[in-house]
Structure 1
């Protein structure tokens, strides 16, 4: 009987141990399955989690479709309740990603750390038939995200640029009819508190970065490249966005280095190296008789080299609204064809749409200060071509020194219906600005734009 009691006691201990062991393993597997073996708490920051896309099945051989693995990593990180969630795209791999929308809002701040290479399908023939040809990577409704890393986003745009409909730029170039949509590489839409830094991005089929309906955007130390003749490959395009800072960035491409569309205000662009390409542009604005509002834009401490334009404001005939409170400061021009240009007759050879109209986007309060360097003598170094019916007003020039890169100086900057003044003497001299303020727009209501416009 004594031995029976001992045996029963041993059995009970063994049974309890077994239950504890099973529960522990069950708890481990539940936690393991929930995290996909993806995360560990950082030794420095206990509220950070990391999610390596290869742990979600991404192969990274440049051939296998890794889209679903990226989506799983994104969704898991987005739904994890921690302060910071870091998605790792590791070095040494090339990941093929189909056109995809990464959606929020997410529980914590997201970091997409790209140390490897990300690329889309190779050209129009490889693009998924049922997917939009306008977009590739879309980040939608994100509040708090950083896109960063030492890697490369390769847009593989060469086959898109050679579509028959594209504007070929050789002397015998032609443009054929047909579908011409090409995807923009990276799109942020209706998002806020965004940071993009340190990445290399190249050869987008169309625009490289687009920020639409975003606020609090910080772009820092990125490098964007595409061939000089690649069509519509803007570096960074912003639209309907505010509190945007673009700093310490190098952009060379086939279109605008930075383009600013309607609905933008409080934009600061500093220490940009731009060129070749089409320069830094506000616009085009007012196309198809639309209303456009842009204000409080600063471009400063930058270099623009071997571009078609330097700093440009371009609007279509027939638009309404205003561009105001613009400062171009401390900019060095190196062999730029049109260093300083306002073009209120912007047109892409679209027949009747290019005819003069009685309305225009009002351009006012534009300051050019400390703009120096060289220009291509095929065009005047300064051109202010303003609407016949809605003049440009309060253009201010200070400390302008522009000399020909080769040949003789063009002594006649061009002005048309442009009102402003000179704070200092300019090189070359500017005599064509009109004094005062035109009576024709003193009571022009279309000039007024609120930030809710």
Structure 2
């Protein structure tokens, strides 16, 4: 090591507070390898003095790096949570907010948001229904209905593998929309009039009242237990020697929809009703599809589907066999479409009866198409009483297959349930009726085409096209019958229809009693 000059000695002396002789001694000791700790320290300070600024910068960077690592340890990821509990975070964490007070219960019993109950299933067995076919399950059904009625898109479930007996009941609305009664088991009334509660109405069994957007569906059976009702001596031809005896003869309609809208009946099997199977009164927007109705051929007054004062109805892809009309359309109906129905044995598909007790009847815009009618007393029929008023108009029967049917095509304005009814001067006005592509076979006991119109109010604008009806047995062909019926034969019919009057009658009664306010679709 070289000896320091005077300038260096002055610097060391200032830094360490040593005399010049002491500094020289340290240098000498350093050269010989002999140095004490204090001297070495002083020498180190002098050497490092030159790099003080550099060391200061490194210290700052090192401190910043260590601080970042410390903070990072407190922000670990959930997927890589370290063992043990982390130390206390240097960052102040605010306390969690206090839970808000629960909302007050609205005064409306049907809150806007039904919560988790939307679309709930209300099983009648959860409300006490037994389902053994003997116990009275009426109360349980009513409780389930009441609960479901308050919930949107709810389902009242009648579970499978059980038989539920309930007495006459009214299922009222209004209810939340989307309500369904799903019958997967068997549902039935008491067995016959002797078991029917005296306090209950004998007019109807199940009534659905003032409902909107409701559905009756399921894979089960609604059984009517009708046999004991049919056997009452007051029923037609049930008395001794085929007579009908006087006496109370009220029998319940099985299912009735009253003053309701947007209804769907689908997939269900309904059988053995004491009287009508289904009625729709004062309803609008009805869809019936994939329905099976079954009752013996000789069961009296067991209409399959009856609609009255109802509009916008569709009946599709269903099978009906019974002891009366498969489908009957009463007064006050419009915009009815029937398609894909197999009917029979039965009394066919009927408009009417209309005008009973001199009443007004208005029916318009009815279409029956792509149907099969077999082994029936009538095919497609319009029936009115003498003395009625109003009109039947805009009727279309098309693409219909007849199989051994009596009275395949029939307009009867002398309908009467007794042997003799007096003619009257007024009648329901029948007009604008089309029969197109109606083919098949007829029972030779009656003529296949029968137009018996009123003496005073003729039927007008009847159209026949592609009608071919052959006798079911034998080769003798019956001639059609016409009375005061006006219309045209667009194509040659079999049998030929030579009895239709051409043009229009000389005088059609210009009276308000033969016009209807529903001709524009309103009642």
* Residue number in structure 2 paired with 1:367: 434
Report Cα offsets for 1:99-126 as digits up to 9, x if no partner. 0000000023201010000000000000
Report Cα offsets for 1:45-78 as digits up to 9, x if no partner. x831111000000000000000000000001110
* Residue number in structure 1 paired with 2:199: 130
Any residues of structure 2 matched to 1:237-386 within 5 Å, and which? 237-349=306-418, 354-386=421-453
Partners of 2:301 and 2:360 in 1: how far apart? 23
- From the superposition, tell whether residues 350 and 72 of structure 1 become closer, same or farther in structure 2 (CA, over 3 Å): farther
Partners of 1:410 and 1:170 in 2: how far apart? 37
Of residues 128, 137, 155, the one that matches 1:57 is 128
The reply to whether residue 233 of structure 1 matches residue 302 of structure 2 is yes
Of residues 410, 422, 425, the one that matches 2:492 is 425
Partners of 2:170 and 2:473 in 1: how far apart? 49
State the structure with more CA Rg: 2
SS in 2 for 1:401: strand
Greater RCO structure (CA 8 Å; 6+ sep): 1
Q: CA deviation at 1:442?
A: 5.4
Q: CA deviation at 1:450?
A: 1.2
SS in 2 for 1:181: coil
Partners of 1:217 and 1:47 in 2: how far apart? 24
Does structure 1 retain, via aligned residues, the 8 Å contact 2:336–2:365?
Answer: yes
Partners of 1:254 and 1:178 in 2: how far apart? 22
SS in 1 for 2:274: coil
Partners of 2:456 and 2:509 in 1: how far apart? 12
Partners of 2:260 and 2:516 in 1: how far apart? 23
Q: CA deviation at 1:445?
A: 2.9
Q: CA deviation at 1:79?
A: 1.6
TM-score normalized with structure 2 length? 0.76
- The structure carrying a bigger strand percent of its residues is 1
Does structure 2 retain, via aligned residues, the 8 Å contact 1:213–1:239?
Answer: yes
The reply to whether residue 388 of structure 1 matches residue 463 of structure 2 is no
Q: CA deviation at 1:281?
A: 0.3
Does structure 2 retain, via aligned residues, the 8 Å contact 1:403–1:409?
Answer: no
Following TM superposition, the consecutive aligned residue runs of length 4 or more in structure 1 with deviations greater than 4 angstroms are none
Does structure 1 retain, via aligned residues, the 8 Å contact 2:231–2:238?
Answer: no
Does structure 2 retain, via aligned residues, the 8 Å contact 1:381–1:410?
Answer: no
Does structure 1 retain, via aligned residues, the 8 Å contact 2:366–2:395?
Answer: yes
* Residue number in structure 1 paired with 2:501: 434
Q: CA deviation at 1:350?
A: 6.5
Report Cα offsets for 1:20-63 as digits up to 9, x if no partner. xxxxxxxxxxxxxx9xxxx995xxxx831111000000000000
* Residue number in structure 2 paired with 1:72: 143
- Alignment: residue pair count: 411
Does structure 2 retain, via aligned residues, the 8 Å contact 1:169–1:229?
Answer: no
**Unmatched 5+ residue regions in structure 1?**
1-33
- From the superposition, tell whether residues 171 and 67 of structure 1 become closer, same or farther in structure 2 (CA, over 3 Å): closer
Report Cα offsets for 1:192-236 as digits up to 9, x if no partner. 000000000000000000000000000000100000000000000
Pairwise CA RMSD = 1.9
Any residues of structure 2 matched to 1:207-222 within 5 Å, and which? 207-222=276-291
Of residues 464, 481, 488, the one that matches 1:414 is 481
* Residue number in structure 1 paired with 2:10: none
Partners of 1:96 and 1:378 in 2: how far apart? 43
Report Cα offsets for 1:148-177 as digits up to 9, x if no partner. 000000000000000110012799311111
Partners of 2:487 and 2:450 in 1: how far apart? 13
